[in-house]
Amino acid sequence: MQVPFAKPHLTGREGALVAEVIASGWVSQGPKVRAFEEAFAARVGAAEAVATTSCTTALQLALYVMGVGPGDEVIVPSLSFIATANSVWQCGATPVFADIDPDTYNLDPDAAERAITERTKVIMPVHQVGLPADMDRFLDLGARYGIEIVEDAACAIGATYKGRQIGSMGPLACFSLHPRKVITTGEGGMITLNDPQVADRLRKLRAHAMDVSDLARHSAKDVVIESYPERGWNSRMTDMQAQLGLCQLESLDWILQRRRELAERYSAAITHIPSLEAPVEPDYAVRTWQSYCVRVNARLPIGRTDLMRRLLHDGIPTRRGVMTIHEEPAYADATVRLPHSEAAARDVIILPLFPDMTEEQQDYVLERVATHAVAQAA
Ligand SMILES: *Cc1c(COP(=O)(O)O)cnc(C)c1O
């Protein structure tokens, strides 16, 4: 059997609906992007949502409106996708890496507090693989030190923290719409926030900071001469992508439920394998199960990478767990030691999980995992 590692949930209706957008003649950012933003904001309980080309550009714009620039520091977990740190660098600022809580794999608020200096402008908690970070602690840190909080919520649409939706709480939260995340527009990102003035500025910054949108200009009754009060970027989503996003939002509840069912099925079996440890869901959080991360321990008879290799040989692709950014050559100048992050990057593997995975596929994965997890080293 060949099991896919990940696959977006598509219903087959999307093609015709995207074709309607193309037939309308308006394919760049326009009315569909606006409709998608409104639907997204409503879904996560935010007043505003601003669409972008990716979560990375969303983070970079979010940091920029928070005033992050050269000379500033932004505290981030190293155990994250490299885009978390790259967005800081794209603002000309320095990412400062802090360690994680070894149980949740999320930035540890105490470690973040120890990393604060006079230059710290923002703390960026990541809701890693869709498990909410301890937001009350971070919002409290921000208030006490006069530091802004920007959430990397790439994998967290639909997650909740103490009953509150991710995207509704912090000043700015940034989501990814890449196919590996919970819902997709092919490529895309979204910033959610509650301040309409900041939302307005973000909408301008993502379109070269032009003071009038294409949509407003096309519907104007008089000649409009635009102006550029500041410098900006091009981070516009297309209306074709937004139409796909609207379709995906309709499936979100089903996607989240399927992911949860499959994750619980995985955990029920993995709890019985002594060399493996199932992921946790703390009381305060409802996670999205964007990825299913398993930790191997010293009882595993083979190495972590050997386990991945044997599974691949069986037709089961896996991925290493979340990377550590400070251990990559791109960030060789960061000389920190982060023991919990380094251990997690070494000992975790991600098993296949996607909404349309069948129980037959999952049983096959579990059977092969169980076999290798107790087998003698070859
Ligand atoms: C995927 C991911 C990103 C980047 O998202 P893009 O939309 O591909 O730019 C950033 N941060 C985290 C934690 C991610 O998982």
Say yes or no: 135 and 281 in one domain.
Answer: no
Domain membership of residue 205 as a residue range: 14-249
Question: For residue 295, what pLDDT band results from cuts at 50, 70 and 90?
Answer: very high
The predicted-structure confidence for 105-133, as pLDDT tens digits, reads as follows 999 999 999 999 999 999 999 999 999 99
* Closest alpha carbon to 96 in 114, 271, 368, 110: 114
Q: How far apart are CA 136 and CA 344, in angstroms?
A: 24
Burial of 377 (0-12, 13-18, 19+ CB in 10 A): exposed
Say yes or no: 189 and 73 in one domain.
Answer: yes
Report which secondary-structure segment, H or E, holds 40. Answer: helix 31-44
Q: Which atom of ligand 1 is nearest to the CA of 187?
A: 7
Q: Which atom of ligand 1 is nearest to the CA of 83?
A: 10
Say yes or no: 62 and 197 in one domain.
Answer: yes
Say yes or no: 245 and 323 in one domain.
Answer: no
Say yes or no: 287 and 351 in one domain.
Answer: yes
Tokens of 180: 């590996």
Contacts of 42 (CB under 8 A, 6+ apart): none
Say yes or no: 219 and 346 in one domain.
Answer: no
Say yes or no: 173 and 240 in one domain.
Answer: yes
Query: Is residue 283 included in any domain, yes or no?
Result: yes
Query: Is residue 80 included in any domain, yes or no?
Result: yes
CATH number at residue 287: 3.90.1150.10
Say yes or no: 243 and 269 in one domain.
Answer: no
Question: For residue 376, what pLDDT band results from cuts at 50, 70 and 90?
Answer: low
Question: For residue 76, what pLDDT band results from cuts at 50, 70 and 90?
Answer: very high
Among 53, 79, 80, 81, residue to substitute to test ligand 1 (most atoms within 8 Å of Cβ): 81
Query: Is residue 72 included in any domain, yes or no?
Result: yes
Q: Are 14 and 244 in contact (CB under 8 A)?
A: yes
Which of these three, 249, 265, 300, is where a domain ends? 249
Q: Catalytic residue at 7?
A: no
Long-range contacts of 85-88 (CB under 8 A, 24+ apart): 85/325, 85/331, 86/56, 87/56, 87/59, 87/60, 87/63, 88/63, 88/124
Which of these three, 249, 279, 303, is where a domain ends? 249
* Closest alpha carbon to 167 in 256, 290, 44: 44
User: Residue 179 C-alpha to ligand 1 middle, in angstroms?
Assistant: 11
pLDDT value at residue 62? 98
pLDDT over 90 at 218, yes or no: no
* Closest alpha carbon to 229 in 206, 204, 200: 204
Query: Who lines ligand 1 at CB under 6 A?
Result: 54-56, 80-81, 83-84, 126, 152, 154-155, 176, 178, 189
Q: Are 120 and 96 in contact (CB under 8 A)?
A: yes
Say yes or no: 307 and 369 in one domain.
Answer: yes
* Closest alpha carbon to 241 in 176, 332, 325: 176
Q: Could you give the number of structural domains in the chain? A: 2
Burial of 10 (0-12, 13-18, 19+ CB in 10 A): middle
Question: For residue 270, what pLDDT band results from cuts at 50, 70 and 90?
Answer: very high
The predicted-structure confidence for 307-360, as pLDDT tens digits, reads as follows 999 999 999 999 999 999 999 999 999 989 999 999 999 999 999 999 999 999
Say yes or no: 242 and 290 in one domain.
Answer: no
Query: Is residue 113 included in any domain, yes or no?
Result: yes
Mean pLDDT score across all residues of the chain: 96
Which of these three, 194, 219, 249, is where a domain ends? 249
pLDDT value at residue 185? 98
pLDDT value at residue 128? 97
Question: For residue 20, what pLDDT band results from cuts at 50, 70 and 90?
Answer: very high
Q: Which atom of ligand 1 is nearest to the CA of 57?
A: 9
Say yes or no: 140 and 283 in one domain.
Answer: no
* Closest alpha carbon to 249 in 51, 7, 37, 34: 37
